[in-house]
């Protein structure tokens, strides 16, 4: 009877790694479409074709499951932007441009993953020493590093501020163009570049005037 039931419902034994990925896929979809709060663990379990205690076995808590989903998405996003930028080492303008473009393309091509990131605030602040926080920090640090290369003589605090500002601008713009198919990733990148690049170029000159030695002679 039990065996028949299991066979009928299509449940099958799986290795831990497989199951984890399967669960993450389902959870990502459900969290993204229905929202974190409106989704119950029973619901996810049912869709996976598994019982609730298994979710707890693998992810510890509902928050832990969301965290795992977010970590996966953040890693993908970081990977997409860094590799796009890395392809243009030595040309700061193109580096920045292509990094931004990769960001907006990611939002377009992985709408569901992107939507998930909006639920991030539901869990940020809970555990600040999580791996997720690490990816968030890395995204900021990577941006900052890119700016440091372009503006070698600029006040470090200012570089940090610029990096945060750019990331904030990206996030909000990605949200803004979500329901506007006419605003392509290319166009929104162009807008953002128009807003910041002339300033950054000017900053190079200003920093250069402030500390000419290190650049001319170093």
Q: Residues in the site for a second copy, rule: CB under 8 A?
A: 35, 37, 118-122, 124-126, 157-158, 160-162, 164-173, 175-176, 183, 187-188, 191-192, 194-200, 202-203
The smaller minimum CB distance to DNA, of residues 59 and 106, is found at 59
178 binds, among DNA, a second copy, none (CB under 5 to 8 A by kind): none
| Distance in Å, CB of 125 to a second copy, minimum | 7
Of 147, 132, 172, nearest to 85 by C-alpha is: 147
Instruction: Please choose which of a second copy, DNA, none residue 41 contacts, taking the beta carbon within 5 to 8 angstroms, the exact cut-off set by kind.
Output: DNA
Q: Which stretch of DSSP H or E encloses residue 133?
A: helix 131-150
| CA-based nearest residue to 188, from 108, 104, 126 | 104
| CA dihedral sign of residues 118, 73, 144, 146 | negative
> 11 to 40, contacts with DNA by CB under 7 A?
11-16, 19, 39-40
Sign of CA dihedral 120, 123, 128, 130: negative
Q: Binding to DNA by residue 57, rule CB under 7 A? A: yes
Q: Least separation, in Å, of the C-beta of 26 and DNA?
A: 13
Residue 3, binding choice from DNA, a second copy, none, Cβ under 5 to 8 Å by partner class: DNA
Task: Give the C-alpha separation, 13 to 217, whole Å.
Answer: 66
Backbone angles phi, psi at 81, to 5 degrees: -75, -45
Could you tell me the smallest distance in angstroms from the CB atom of residue 2 to DNA?
Answer: 5
Shortest spacing between CB 7 and a second copy, in angstroms: 39
Q: Interface with DNA includes 112 (CB under 7 A)?
A: no
Work out which of 21, 33, 51, 112 binds DNA, going by CB under 7 A: 51
- Identify which of residues 48 and 143 has a Cβ nearer to a second copy in the complex: 143
CA distance 82 to 80: 6
- Distance, CA of 115 to CA of 31 (rounded, Å): 9
Q: Does residue 52 touch DNA according to CB under 7 A?
A: yes
Within the chain, how many helices (H) and strands (E) appear? 11, 0
Question: Residue 28, by phi and psi: left (phi above 0), alpha (psi -120 to 50) or beta?
Answer: alpha
Residues in contact with DNA by the rule CB under 7 A: 2-3, 5-6, 11-16, 19, 39-42, 49-54, 56-57, 61-63
């Amino acid at each position: 009877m039990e065996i028949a039931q299991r066979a009928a419902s299509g449940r099958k034994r799986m290795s831990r790694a497989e199951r984890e990925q399967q669960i993450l896929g389902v959870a990502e979809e459900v969290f993204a479409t229905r929202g974190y709060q409106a989704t119950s663990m029973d619901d996810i379990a049912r869709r996976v074709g598994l019982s609730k205690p298994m979710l707890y076995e693998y992810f510890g808590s509902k928050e832990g499951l969301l965290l795992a989903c977010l970590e996966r998405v953040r890693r993908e996003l970081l990977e997409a932007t860094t590799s796009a930028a890395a392809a243009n080492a030595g040309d700061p303008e193109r580096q920045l441009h292509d990094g931004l473009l990769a960001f907006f393309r990611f939002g377009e091509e992985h709408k569901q993953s992107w939507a998930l990131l909006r639920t991030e605030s539901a869990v940020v602040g809970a555990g600040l020493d999580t791996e997720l926080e690490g990816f968030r920090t890395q995204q900021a640090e990577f941006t900052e590093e890119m700016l440091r290369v372009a503006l070698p003589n600029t006040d470090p605090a200012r570089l940090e501020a610029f990096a945060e500002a750019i990331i904030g601008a990206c996030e909000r713009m990605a949200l803004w163009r979500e329901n506007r198919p006419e605003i392509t990733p290319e166009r929104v990148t162009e807008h953002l570049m128009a807003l910041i690049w002339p300033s950054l170029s000017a900053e190079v000159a200003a920093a250069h005037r402030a500390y000419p030695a290190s650049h001319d002679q170093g």
